Chains A and B, each alone.
Chain A
């Protein structure tokens, strides 16, 4: 293989995982989105990134796209399930206000990564999105390609307890699934990561299999429960303290939303780990979710008093 062939394959969305990501980045950059980098914290979904949660609030227009590593401790399968991972990548697009041609834009992005609408069955199947922990909900669909859910498409109606005005459109692509689809592989660990062949080929398994095994052990067996309960309480207390600090002496403006929101994210992740450890009963579960939601709502309310929300 020549050097230039290798370059093409390593950027080809149908040949490499990274090519898929780079194609989406280019596509949305051309559509005027700010291309951000992942948020540097453990989150359950791309929605948690403040570029979505907080930026979807208020009247200022906003367009952004980014990859977000997402952690769902309970979905760990010790690397033995071909489809489930406790750590995976989402590609997140947020457009405020939602453009009238959002569905067409989305289909155009699928075409860009090689999903041909003349050959495949692309469908918008009802799926109302709700995040109890974020105090958020929206209406939209799961987007199916030949029966596989490859994206989530949502018109946000409320986030962090705040009514969205205007409404944002959110697209979330499940990158591994999409890549498995376009590469035609049945096991996520067989995905070609860098698009090269032979000795130079790096698979998803080369990069992540060991991590999945170790983190599954961690999430289900080893994570210290006492420490996690402590993490949760400390993050909760810190979030409240920071919010109180930020509103000192001024009812109209808030000066410390982002750091407070980080603590909300921390509490949420601690909860997810505790849930994976199976130490939270059904009734307690509700109360933990409620506690995180209270933090998220307080952050949302505070954000509405900042420049970011157009104040």
Chain B
């Protein structure tokens, strides 16, 4: 058994590409080996800013030998066929072939080709250059004199050296013999760029790892992250502060250094007037530093942590001071933006308060929200109207909801948000407070984006809820109207998140909203817009036919009639399209709701059973599901479900003979002869009445209870009565009784959609 050590040493690899590259390298090489019959014991890949490393342990030194049989022509076949066979099998003459007999007794030639497995070293020399040449970097480049040649080597940044050694643990490994882009694979790597730049000869992974450690390179990114996090917490603790943890930033900085050294810097406390989120965004985005907070107050401290790549000769004083200067400069910029946003906007100074001026600019700039969905200004108008309409349904003041919706997007043109998009909403709120907007309006500006993810808080205040729902519904309906739905893993406009957000807001606040109704109302204008366009075409057509009338009055009339008929049909098609898309969006909500319920351990098949009734009020859907779930857990419920299924199966079979809907008439009393028929009929009438009344009162438990009384009569009916009587009238009447049972049960849910039982 032998081990492979592969290292691709280059100029600095972008941090964000490192993890994927390490995973890709491992997969590509191991897959190629396995494909060639070379299995291995273990494989691990590593990455630093300057190297991509793969260690494969326990590879055989040769491929297994391969034996292949190749069937040839029958004995005595024409010469041409024999020659073709010899050539394809690589035989010199028929003497080298076997003669076999098939089942029918015919004789044919057989070639047995035995291929000795190649040495793994040679297999590696063949596959490694191909993998390097076709490596799936998100963006690769050319460099140097070679770059003038066609098909030159591309890599993420210039590649300088390759280590590729292969051999058993006990012996000096061999170098995998290959060369690519003028770089010959060897056994030389280099240490830390500044602290140990000299060449290092390596043999296999363990001495390689040790040598790199001594040359100030921590190879494993997970270890670099651990070191950084640990040192950050220690330094923070020593100052009585707390690290504001940031997983994304941690991964990034671990990809920027080979030898992490955490240092603390500081900035002037007067910058703490800037909102904390802006300070954090500034320091994070531009300087890739961590911020700290006071554990007592939760407020940011005027200190930060940076991760440097060197042990400096002065212990890091100059580095910390230098970073401090840059952070101060960045914060002066942020302070400038923050102050500018609160002042008058040139050319818009007469458009009201500062945020209103920004809104005026947003409108004036005609910033496109989406090519087919118009400008941000148009969107603001739609959300305002919708928020106003939503307000009474969620207990909010309509004027406040409309005002919040009006200002909700104004911060998109502020300087701070222009610089740090991640603080959108928060800045709108802050500026709204500063210009004296009502507290509920200001909060809604921030909270209307919520929830941003499954674990984010949902907005709680009524005005926030109205605007949050309006914003999300507008987005969803808009994208559905233009048929830009999420597919597979692609959801560029985060529509799934918007739908899930609406579901959470509605359910967690117990809001009564007829979703289907709202969607239908909103989707219409999009088609009305298309209709205006259509109308234009009609007028154009009629005009052009009027011109044509100079030539022939008769033809004109025919033409315009046909044109109008065509338009009418297209209009009908579009009407159907509106209904289809609205229904499709509602189904999308149902699917999201299913995910939501499943995550909470509810049975999602019950959603299908309830949704099939056409219910579009989420709160009602969920209380029905809850009542149903409880009901099905009782003996009465389980038994009734079984009875329902039995009735349903019989009906399905008989409807095949008599046609769908053949038994939907109310059964007739005078065709009942068995006692159990009378009992069931009476029970059904009562259950339908009681369940109906309970449903009117939104008392689902009550409705279920009413239905539960059917259990004994149904069981009795199936015990004693033969449905498919030879008497056609009796048969029909009994089937009608079962159809009534089905209708009664469908009052609460479509039991046929329920699984199990």
Tell yes or no: A165 within 8 A of B by CB.
Answer: yes
Residues of chain A within 8 A (CB-CB) of B332 are 81-83
Determine how close the nearest CB of chain B comes to the CB of A115; give it in whole angstroms. 10
Q: Please report the C-alpha to C-alpha distance between residue A278 and residue B360 in the assembled complex, in whole angstroms.
A: 14
Contact between A119 and B145 (Cβ–Cβ < 8 Å)? no
The number of chain B residues with a CB under 8 A from chain A is 52
Q: Determine if A128 and B145 form an interchain contact, defined as CB atoms under 8 angstroms apart.
A: no
Partner of B145, one of A82, A117, A140, A166: A166
Binds A, one of B11-19, B385-393, B517-525, B615-623: B11-19
Q: Is the CB of B312 within 8 A of A118?
A: yes
Q: With A and B bound together, what is the CA distance between A138 and B160 in angstroms?
A: 19
A164 to B146, CA, bound (A): 12
> Is A146 at the interface (CB under 8 A from chain B)?
yes
B333 x A81 contact (CB < 8 A) = yes
B16 and A147 contacting across the interface, CB-CB below 8 Å: no
A119-B312 in contact (CB<8A): yes
| Interface: A281 (CB within 8 A) | yes
Report B313-343 CB contacts with A as 1/0, cut-off 8 Å: 1100011011101111100110010000000
Interface contact B144-A121, CB-CB below 8 Å: no
Contact, CB under 8 Å: B313 / A146: no
Contact A141-B141, Cβ < 8 Å, known A83-B332, A120-B319: no
Query: Are the CB atoms of B147 and A167 closer together than 8 Å?
Result: yes
- B16 and A126 contacting across the interface, CB-CB below 8 Å: yes
Chain B residue contacts of A140, Cβ below 8 A: 157
A97–B310 alpha-carbon span in the complex (Å)? 31
- Docked pose: A186 CA to B325 CA in angstroms: 7
Q: Verify A155–B194 contact, CB threshold 8 A.
A: no
Check A208 for interface membership: any CB of B closer than 8 A. Answer: no
B346 touches A220 (CB 8 A): yes
| B12: A residues at CB distance < 8 A | 124-126, 141
Asked whether, in the complex, the Cβ of B309 is within 8 Å of the Cβ of A84, the reply is: no
**Given contacts A82-B329, A146-B319, A147-B326, A119 and B314 within 8 Å (CB-CB):** yes
- Chain A positions within 8 Å of B326 at CB level: 146-148
Question: B313 and A166: CB pair below 8 A?
Answer: no
Contacting pair B141 A157 (CB below 8 A): yes
**What separation, in Å, do the CA atoms of A181 and B287 have in the docked complex?**
16
In the bound complex, residues from chain B placing their C-beta under 8 Å from that of A186 are 325, 328-329
- Chain B positions 586-603 with a Cβ under 8 Å from a chain A Cβ: none
Which residues A136-160 have CB closer than 8 A to chain B?
A: 138-141, 145-148, 155, 157
Residues of A within 8 A of B347 (CB): 278
Residue numbers in B under 8 Å from A126 (CB-CB):
12, 14-16
User: Once the chains are docked, how many angstroms separate the CA of A278 from the CA of B147?
Assistant: 42
Q: In the complex, what residues of B have CB within 8 A of residue A117's CB?
A: 194, 310
- List of B residues within 8 angstroms of A123 by Cβ: 256-257, 309
Tell me the residues in window 42-82 of chain B with beta carbons closer than 8 Å to chain A beta carbons: 49
Interface string of B1-32 (1 = CB under 8 A from A): 00000000001101110000000000000000
Known interface pairs A83-B333, A282-B367; A97-B147 also in contact (CB < 8 Å): yes
Which residues 356-371 in B have Cβ within 8 Å of A in the complex? 364-368
Q: Is B481 close to A, CB under 8 A? A: no
A81 to B384, CA, bound (A): 39
Binary flags per residue of B137-174, CB closer than 8 Å to A gives 1, else 0:
00101111111100000001110100000000000000
Say whether B703 faces chain A, with CB atoms less than 8 Å apart: no
> Contact between B366 and A281 (Cβ–Cβ < 8 Å)?
yes
In the assembled complex, the Cα of A155 lies from the Cα of B323 at a distance in Å of 27
Cβ A99 vs Cβ B256 within 8 A: no
Q: Is A253 an interface residue (CB 8 A)?
A: no
Docked-complex contact A148 and B367, CB < 8 angstroms: no
Q: How far is the CA of A155 from the CA of B14 in the complex (A)?
A: 14
- Is there a chain B Cβ closer than 8 Å to A218's Cβ? no
| A283–B147 CB distance below 8 A | no
> Quick check: is B120 within 8 A (CB to CB) of the other chain?
no
* Given contact pairs A147-B289, A148-B322, A165-B147, A282 touches B158 in the complex (Cβ within 8 A): no
Q: Say whether A77 contacts B15, CB under 8 Å.
A: no
In the complex, A100 has a CB within 8 A of chain B:
yes
Decide if A59 is an interface residue (CB 8 Å cutoff): yes
Residues in A whose Cβ lies below 8 Å from that of B145: 97, 166
Interface contact B148-A59, CB-CB below 8 Å: yes
List of A residues within 8 angstroms of B319 by Cβ: 119-121, 146-147
Q: Which residue of B lies closest to A139 (CB)?
A: B141
Interchain CB contact under 8 A, B328 and A167? no
Q: How far is the CB of B526 from chain A (nearest CB, A)?
A: 21
Q: Is B410 an interface residue (CB 8 A)?
A: no
Q: Answer yes or no: B308 CB below 8 A from chain A CBs.
A: yes
CB pair A103 B11 closer than 8 Å: yes
Measured between beta carbons, the chain B residues less than 8 angstroms from A139 are 139, 141, 156-157
Which of B314, B327, B332 neighbours the largest number of chain A CB atoms within 10 Å of its CB? B332
Minimal beta-carbon separation of B14 from chain A (angstroms): 4
Q: Is B306's CB within 8 Å of the partner chain A? A: yes
Q: In the bound complex, how far is the Cα of B197 from the Cα of A122, in angstroms? A: 14
Does A147 contact B327, Cβ atoms closer than 8 Å?
A: yes
A99 to B145 CA separation, bound complex (whole angstroms):
8
Contact between A98 and B144, CB atoms less than 8 A apart = yes
- State how many angstroms separate the Cβ of B347 from the closest Cβ of chain A: 7
A250 smallest CB distance to B (angstroms): 26
With both beta carbons as reference points, the residue of chain B lying nearest to A118 in the complex is identified as B313
* Distance A100 CA – B10 CA, assembled complex (angstroms): 11
In chain A, what residue has the closest Cβ to B348?
A: A278
Partner of B366, one of A98, A100, A221, A282: A282
Residues in chain A near residue B308, CB distance under 8 A: 121, 146
What would 10 A/B residue contacts be, using CB atoms closer than 8 Å? Answer: A121-B322, A123-B309, A124-B49, A141-B12, A146-B321, A146-B326, A147-B289, A165-B147, A166-B142, A167-B143
The 9 closest A-B pairs by CB, nearest first: A146-B322, A126-B14, A147-B323, A166-B148, A124-B12, A121-B308, A167-B147, A139-B141, A165-B148
A83-B329, A221-B346 given; 7 more Cβ-contact pairs under 8 Å = A59-B148, A100-B144, A118-B194, A120-B318, A147-B306, A167-B141, A278-B347
